[in-house]
Amino acid sequence: MLRKAFVMQLLPNQEAEYEKRHNPIWPELESLLKEQGVVDYSIFLHTETLQLFAYAVVESDERWERIADSPICKKWWEHMSPLMDTNPDGSPMAVELKEVFHIDALS
């Protein structure tokens, strides 16, 4: 299993709409994530900077990358693009974070 962490940027005054669109997430997108080996995925909002911190546990980089090539993911990006910084292809601008510490379980 691999842990992925990245930061995205929400646009001002879009906090409530962003949360609304994720609760619940589209069932077909949730199914795709699970089919491609995502076993855990969370997004957190830093309310002062509007940064979105995302954390996912995935089975492999290859399967994680396949998600972005799917039509449902591209449709999701289009749906979310008015709320956040995006790349020219519509994907969210994301900066991957380097893991510097991890502990599996506390005794």
Instruction: Name the pTM for this structure.
Output: 0.92
Query: If you average pLDDT over every residue of the chain, what do you get?
Result: 96
Q: Determine the length of the chain.
A: 107
Query: Which of 12, 29, 19 lies closest to 85 in space, CA to CA?
Result: 12
Q: For residue 3, name the pLDDT band (cuts at 50, 70, 90).
A: very high
Say which of 22, 46, 79, 102 is annotated catalytic: 22
Provide the percentage of residues in the chain whose pLDDT is more than 70.
Answer: 98
Angle at 19 between CA 79 and CA 3, to 5 degrees: 90
Domains in the chain, CATH or no CATH each:
2-96 (3.30.70.100)
CB contact at 8 A, 88 and 42: no
Mark whether 102 is an active-site residue.
Answer: no
